[in-house]
Amino acid sequence: MATRYPASLSRIARTGRVSSKVLSCCTAVLLCPLTIALLAGCGDSSKKSAGTQAQAAPPLENGNQAVAQGQAQAQAPEGPRQPFGKPAPAPNEAEAPAVDPNLNPHDVFEVTATMSTFERVDGPEGPASVDKFDAVFPAKGSDSSDFELTETPQEKPTTRFASPPMTAETQTARQSEKPTSKRRSSAKSSDKNKADKDKLDTAADKSEGDSKKSLPSGFRVISESGYSPVGWPLRIRSKIDRAEMALVTGGAVTVGHDGDPPESSPQITVVLDSFYMDVAEVTLARYERYRKQMTEEHGRRAVPEPENVKSPPDFPVLGVTLKQAEFYCHWAQKDLPTEAEWERAARGEQAFAHPWGNGRAIWSQARKPNTITAVKSFGTDVSPYGIYDLAGNAREWCSDRWSETAFADAQKGSQNPLRNWKGPRNAPADVHVVKGNGPGWDAWYRAGLNGTQHHPNVGFRCVLRLSEKN
């Protein structure tokens, strides 16, 4: 009876490429279960035959090769499927090279083959690099834990006023000091604040004086107002009475007027140094501050009340005697103006007839001589130097003694121009010059009043004379 092989084995037999031994083994598997042990040997032989068949297969054409590759991929065993929605894992990366167990991990100076090397290039004056850096490698095997601080670096002070470093002796001395009480009286605190402010003002004045001309210690510069061509600031402020002052340039000054009234003639020329004058008349507020300080220093009623004590604080102080006006000026480190200084401030370099020029007065409201208002109420009553109320408002004391022939006597007694003229010396000492509120608002108008008496319409303003000649 003929042996019948399965279909798969029949195909293998028809190829003619499998040995009869293989067919016998396969038949034994089908016929008898006891021949399982022989199957392993047949498998090895079949693998060898398959390898031989793959080597002996002829090369395929381009088209047949693509078909064969597709069949091979279809017949390739499938790997484990990934869950839906998760990407397939990336192929294993190359493993990192192993670390040499003999290498010290703290050795930061070891030069390996993977590090870039540097070559030193010497020039005529050293290493030929931009910043002339020179790398020096320590000995091999040096450990980063071997560094020691051999010298304490000196810290640079961060500010100009940095305190010196604290030593053990200084610390001991400070600890031994007794703590001071934080409670202080209001008067001492006020004095300390005033002293600190004066120090700051002095420092500011000194910094201004480095490039400009310096002022006395009792005054500070209003820098935003600018400077004159000769270097003096155009505006300053007193640290004592807080009054703003304007620069009045010196030079040849015209004083008086040729013609009527006779006491104002003849016209003379006086050479003056530059000076500062209060922009406004001394007000009741400033005079009251002065009175308060004098009372604290010298006792009750050191300075009597002025005549218009009940007027608004921005009105000019009135009814003070010449001596009272001089005492105030000395307290503020200033002086009363001379008649020549007063006319220079009112008439300017062009020697105008009025502070605003040679035209008639134009007021914003009704105004008559001896009309008293708050200072700087009339914007047109201002001189070329920016000084207010030289034509109207309060009449003002001058330091000159009064004489009806003062100008004529001065012109006869001197062949050269008068310099910083202060009025006649042989005139009565009690009567002094008063300026302002003249007929037609003329700046050359002058009058004489007894300086020991209180006059209800007379006030004053101060000047600061400069020691340097200009």
DSSP 205-250: HHHHHTTSPPPPTTEEE-GGG-B-TTS-BSEEEETTT--EEEEE--
What is the per-residue burial (b if ≥16 Cβ within 10 Å, else e) of 198-220? eeebeeebeebeeebbebeebbb
- Going by pLDDT thresholds of 50, 70 and 90, the confidence category of residue 32 is very low
**Under 8 Å between Cβ of 334 and 460:** no
Strand, helix or coil at 25?
Answer: helix
> Mean pLDDT lowest for which of 36-40, 318-322, 445-449?
36-40
pLDDT mean across residues, the chain: 73
Across residues 383-401, what is the average pLDDT? 97
Residue 398 pLDDT: 98
In terms of Cα–Cα distance, which of 245, 244, 213, 216 is closest to 229?
A: 213
Report how far residue 155's alpha carbon sits from residue 147's, in angstroms, rounded to the nearest whole number. Answer: 21
pLDDT of residue 395: 97
Minimal CA–CA distance to 433: which of 394, 389, 401, 390?
Answer: 401
Which residue matches tokens 């790398």?
135
The Cα 73–Cα 80 span in angstroms is 16
Section 188-211 average pLDDT: 49
> What's the Cα-to-Cα distance from 51 to each of 3, 11, 39, 54, 68, rounded to whole Å?
29, 18, 18, 5, 17
Instruction: Tell me the average pLDDT across 214-218.
Output: 90
Cross-strand bridge partners of residue 251: 272
pLDDT in tens, 52-96: 443 444 444 444 444 344 444 444 444 445 444 445 555 555 555
Which residue type does 259 have? Answer: G
Reply yes or no on whether the pLDDT at 275 is more than 90: yes
pLDDT in tens, 408-437: 999 887 667 899 999 998 899 999 999 999
Residue carrying the six token digits 């914003």: 364
Residue 56: the pLDDT is 40
pLDDT band with cut points at 50, 70 and 90 for residue 302: confident
Report which of residues 260 and 8 the model is more confident about.
260
The three-state secondary structure class of 273 is: coil
Nearest-CA neighbor of 392 among 366, 429, 430?
366
Q: Where are the alpha helices (DSSP H) in 224-321?
A: 284-298
Residue 456 in this model has a pLDDT that exceeds 60 = yes
Q: Does residue 306 surpass a pLDDT of 80?
A: yes
d(CA 228, CA 239): 22
d(CA 400, CA 430): 10
At residue 134 the predicted structure's pLDDT band, cuts being 50, 70 and 90, is very low
Q: How many CB atoms lie within 10 A of CB 92?
A: 6
Least confident of 122-131, 202-211, 320-329, 339-348: 202-211
Query: Residue 419: what are its φ and ψ, rounded to 5°?
Result: -115, 125
Does residue 145 register a pLDDT over 60?
no
Write down the pLDDT at residue 199.
Answer: 54
Q: What is the pLDDT of residue 185?
A: 41
Residue 187 pLDDT greater than 60, yes or no: no
Which tokens sit at 217?
Answer: 């210690």
CB contact burial 328-353 (16+ within 10 A = b; e otherwise): bbeebbbbbbbbbbbbbbbbbeebbb
Does the pLDDT of residue 448 top 50, yes or no? yes
Q: What average pLDDT does the segment 40-48 reach?
A: 44
In degrees, rounded to 5, the angle at the alpha carbon of residue 176 between the alpha carbons of residues 172 and 182 is 125
pLDDT score for 230: 87
Homologous superfamily of domain range 206-465: paralog of FGE (formylglycine-generating enzyme) (3.90.1580.10)
Give me the mean pLDDT over the 344-351 stretch: 96
Q: Where are the domains of the chain?
A: 206-465
pLDDT-derived band of residue 260, with 50, 70 and 90 as boundaries? confident
Q: Is the pLDDT of residue 204 over 60?
A: no
Confidence of residue 123 (pLDDT cuts 50, 70, 90): low
Confidence of residue 137 (pLDDT cuts 50, 70, 90): low
User: What is the pLDDT, as a whole number, of residue 411?
Assistant: 87
Maximum CA extent, the chain? 178
Predicted local confidence at residue 104, as pLDDT: 65
What share of the chain has pLDDT > 90, as a percent? 48
**Would you give the DSSP letter of residue 138?**
-
